[in-house]
Amino acid sequence: MRPENARGALLGLAMGDALGLPAEYHRHARAGWGRGVLWEKNVDLDRQRISRPLLPFVPGHTELNPLCGTDDTETAATAALVLLEAGAHDLRSLFQEWRTHYVDTEDVWCGIAERGAVLHALEGRVPPVTGTDNPVYWDDGAVPAAVSVGLFHSGDTRKATETVTEYARITHDRDGVWAAGAMAHAIAALSAGEDLAAALSEAERTVPDDSWLRRGFERAAAIVPGRAEGVFATVPSLIDAFGRPGYSHGGVAPETLPLAFAITRLVEGDLTSGLQTAALFPRQSDSLPAMVGALCGATGGDDAVPDTWRDHVDLVEGVLLPRVAGQRLTELADRLVTPRTNVDHPGAPTR
């Protein structure tokens, strides 16, 4: 295990998460009056054929951090705390700890898959129903959690995949779970120092044949190998393959994760280049940069994170998930990769 790689993974994820317009909306989720005015006036502008919509705003002076991480960062931080605080990592134990963050805490904002699981839980249902009977079980909402799981089991890709499969089943099924498994596998390998190409290839092989996600990986692989024209010149081909408006949902795991792996390969794990490239995909801008940031950060470590960025993203603000407010990603990363007693078999070391 390499603590610097773990810190790089979470900081890189937060850097990508902080980029783009979706993060602006997330940071203003609790703006109250301003949020209501924003949506009301944008409806009026649309009716009048005004091409530039209003952006999120807060009247007067605000202490809001303009580059804090939002949904993906807080999902990863929540998963880290669940892993560290749960007595065991079976599905029942993980769900009970997950409930404290999503169900038993007031004023939680989250994605459709997570909200569906919350509503099920409020009706007394438990996993796997909370994930299988879910309108967007295929989205990428569990992938940020997989980063924390991969770090917790750094160097043990099998255990990382097994654990995240249980965790992801709370909110997702099939492709949504398989995407989390592939990410956890990759992060567990990269954070332990495995070669980038090998780590990504092995992670892809965990995905079932003839699945939507596997076809996404195959489509990306057909574009990326042998691209002599460089990273930037490859972007249009990737957008042609993955960026067409076939869905109203931007976080489709069989699209975003293959893109994240493809971009990470193209930039050879370089964090700066990876984030700059991921930011060029408008339809996937809510989650793609965070995925690429996590993969590249796990590859290069926190030395690749500029202090100017660390100052903005290390502190978790809790803009959507209040219980994680005040956590620091670097501290969570160090805790995740600290040798510990096996949570499933007390007394036995995990590594």
* pLDDT tens digits, one per residue of 25-44: 999 998 888 888 999 999 99
Query: Helix, strand, or coil here: 64?
Result: coil
What integer is the mean pLDDT of 78-98?
98
Residue 351 above 60 pLDDT? no
**Rounded to whole angstroms, how far apart are CA atoms 236 and 243?**
9
Whole-angstrom distance, CA of residue 157 vs CA of residue 155: 6
Under a CB-based contact definition with an 8 Å cutoff, are residues 207 and 178 in contact? yes
CA distance 52 to 172: 35
Q: What is the pLDDT of residues 220-272, one digit of tens each?
A: 999 987 666 789 999 999 999 998 888 888 899 999 999 999 999 999 999 99
Helix (H, G, I), strand (E, B) or coil at 328: strand
pTM: 0.95
Q: Give the model's pLDDT for residue 1.
A: 65
Which residues, listed in sequence order, are joined to residue 341 by a DSSP beta bridge?
349
Per-residue exposure over 84-119, b if at least 16 CB sit within 10 Å of its own CB, e if not: bebeebebebbbebbbebbeeeeebbbbbbbbbbbe
Tens-place pLDDT, residues 292-314:
999 999 999 999 999 999 999 99
pLDDT of residue 88: 96
Across the chain, mean pLDDT equals: 94
Residue among 74, 68, 64 at smallest CA distance from 34: 64
Query: Quick one: pLDDT at residue 346?
Result: 44
| Percent of the chain surpassing pLDDT 90 | 86
pLDDT at 109 over 50: yes
C-beta of residue 12 within 8 angstroms of C-beta of residue 338: no
Lowest mean pLDDT among 10-14, 20-24, 303-307: 20-24
Mean pLDDT throughout 127-140? 97
Indicate the angle between helix axes 288-300 and 3-18, nearest 10 degrees: 160
φ, ψ of residue 60 to 5 degrees: the values are 80, -170
The pLDDT score that the predictor gives to residue 349 is: 42
Tell me the helices (H) and strands (E) count for the chain, helix number first.
18, 0
Q: Taking the C-alpha atoms of 11, 14, 15 and 18 in order, what is their torsion angle to the nearest 10 degrees?
A: -160
Distance CA 323, CA 340 (A): 24
Q: Residue 173: which pLDDT band, with cuts at 50, 70 and 90?
A: very high
- At 341, the pLDDT band (50, 70, 90 cuts) reads low
| Look-up of token digits 């209003």 | 54
Both structure tokens of 10 = 């979470």
In the structure encoding, which two tokens stand for residue 213, read together? Answer: 């996600």
| One-letter amino acid of 299 | T
Mean pLDDT value across residues 278-287: 97
Helix 157-168 with 143-152: angle, nearest 10 deg: 140
The answer on pLDDT for 348 being more than 90 is no
pLDDT, position 342: 58
Domains and CATH numbers, the chain: 3-28+64-336 (1.10.4080.10)
